A and B are shown apart, each in its own frame.
Chain A
Amino acid sequence: MTNLDKLIKAFSDALELEPELINDELSYGTESWDSIAHLALVASIEMEFDIMLSSEDVIDMSSFKKAKEILTKYDVGF
């Protein structure tokens, strides 16, 4: 499974969305991505990649595209 697949899975699991709906346009506030789902999403990503995000990154992670950018800081390549 590639890192992109893993990230899509994390989003899909946490937001309860079909993987086909996960793309760069997906952003906080759309679909089922609300404040409560956001923390579930953070936990899902952290578990998938075995990392712990900083508080700033948790707050900054406002889209799927942004999530990929943030993860590169944790040596996760796409």
Chain B
Amino acid sequence: MTSVFNLEGKVAFVTGSTRGIGWATAKTLVRHGATVILNGVHSQQLLDQRIDEIKKEFNVESNGFLFDVGSLDSVQKCYNEIFKRYKKLDILVNNAGILEDSLIGMITKENIEHTFSTNTTAVVYNLQFAARLMSRNMSGSIINISSLVGRVGNEGQVVYGCSKAAVIGITLSAARELAHKNIRVNAVAPGFINTDLIKPLSKEIYQQRLNSIKMKRIGQPEDVANTVLFLASDLSSYVTGQVIGVDGGMIM
């Protein structure tokens, strides 16, 4: 029986996909039949390793591009390559993101620029190029990874929260603009997820966050990846302009 999440024949690009939520998402999409293009920024070795892991686990080819998603030139080159190799794009997951906590009074210009470049500007860059490729087939799904912090805020995360709230704004406007081309745009807002981003947290803060989750467990990257899978698949073919929380009922 064919999976209801069947993505065979689909080409997907997942930004920031060598670790955490991005990596879990890439594997989930491959598992359901998509050809996935990976992206990392720090290590060609890790990117190559991930491509090998996909090859070994699923016996399929994937590709990867090492570049900063906040660089317009690099993004353009990436989409030129996607166009050359695949001639189309069906799924974009704007996942790449950074988290630099700064209390009010300690926020620097560099902190703002760096965070917005990766978390927000890059989303617009990728969305623009992806929409152009998708519009040729009058079909596509764009999934932007926002954050619970972008919806309800958090101490020390004025900049991060702002950058992730902006992702929701991008999602809502793009969904309206692209709906007539049958390109759906949705956002996922993860809560407290077990990734490298939470490693710097103290035991006390970690426990506080855990205590605020109604389901009494930390989220796993796969919890987010499965929601992305739903939004990428035809099961959500009439869903656009939505923000889906993946937070276990967390109240920050």
Contacts and interface: CB of A to CB of B under 8 A. Distances in A.
Contact of A43 (B76, B83, B136): B136
Interface stretch (A4-12, A15-23, A47-55): A47-55
A55 to B, nearest CB: 7
Given A39-B132, A52-B79, A52-B132, 13 more contacts: A39-B135, A40-B135, A42-B132, A43-B132, A46-B132, A46-B136, A47-B136, A52-B80, A52-B83, A52-B133, A55-B72, A55-B76, A55-B128
A interface: dominant SS:
helix
Mostly helix, strand, loop or mixed at chain B's interface? helix
Contacts of B76: 54-55
Interface of A: 39-40, 42-43, 46-47, 52, 54-55
B171 to A, nearest CB: 19
A7 B214 CA distance: 59
Q: Which 6 pairs between the two chains have the least Cβ-Cβ distance?
A: A52-B83, A43-B135, A52-B80, A43-B136, A47-B136, A54-B76
Contacts of A52: 79-80, 83, 132-133
A20 B80 CA distance: 33
A7 to B, nearest CB: 17
Interface in B127-164: 128, 132-133, 135-136
Contacts of B72: 55
19 contacts: A39-B132, A39-B135, A40-B135, A42-B132, A43-B132, A43-B135, A43-B136, A46-B132, A46-B136, A47-B136, A52-B79, A52-B80, A52-B83, A52-B132, A52-B133, A54-B76, A55-B72, A55-B76, A55-B128
B71 to A, nearest CB: 13
A60 to B, nearest CB: 14
Interface string B55-82: 0000000000000000010001001100
